[in-house]
Amino acid sequence: MEFMTEAEKAQLEQQLAELVGKRKALSDRIGAARELGDLRENADYHAAREDQGMNEAKIRELEKRLKNSQVADPDAIPDDVVFVGATVKLRDTDTGEEDLYKLVGESTGNFMLDYIEVTPNSPMGQALMKARVGETVRADLPKGTKRFEIVEIVE
């Protein structure tokens, strides 16, 4: 089961609606390309079919994710527990450096944010999930094991 915020669910539903809306246009593209003649050497036809296949695969992926997900209810989570949607300030116990991390259902890939996004399935996300303020968590990262103290939950 995948946990996500209400905003992430809404974003996935919007993306799904857009992909479903593309079905007619892709079908029309295939029909128009089919009318051009010989399908064996018809690049437009093959490209349209490939685009249709990728669109359908993405639709199936999003439907599966939405079906197997649960929206995290922020009111049901104690204020001092880290859960999906929480932004936390962590202190590296070795260096003393502090950074902000946000536990998200899916990373946006935006590296210009004021925080580092982690998913619940990542080593850091697994360490943070359901941890409390003041605890020290251990994350088995690719560069080795690191320990972080949870200083505060910002959001």
pLDDT of residue 77: 63
Residues 6 or more apart from 94 whose CB is under 8 A from it? 146, 147
Q: Are residues 37 and 96 in the same domain?
A: no
Domain hosting residue 55, numbered range = 2-71
Q: Please state, rounded to an integer, the average pLDDT across all residues of the chain.
A: 87
Q: Are residues 25 and 47 in the same domain?
A: yes
Please write the tens of the pLDDT for every residue from 134-151. 899 999 888 889 999 999
Question: Is residue 94's pLDDT more than 70?
Answer: yes
Q: Are residues 128 and 147 in the same domain?
A: yes
Nearest to 134 by CA among 81, 73, 70, 94: 81
Domain harbouring 126, CATH code: 3.10.50.30
Please write the tens of the pLDDT for every residue from 39-76. 777 888 889 999 999 999 999 999 998 898 878 666 66
Of 51, 71, 91, the residue at which a domain comes to its end is 71
Q: Are residues 66 and 102 in the same domain?
A: no
How far apart CA 92 and CA 85 sit, in angstroms, is 21
Nearest to 8 by CA among 82, 66, 61, 78: 66
Number of domains in the chain: 2
Least confident of 21-25, 47-51, 106-110: 106-110
pLDDT of residue 97: 92
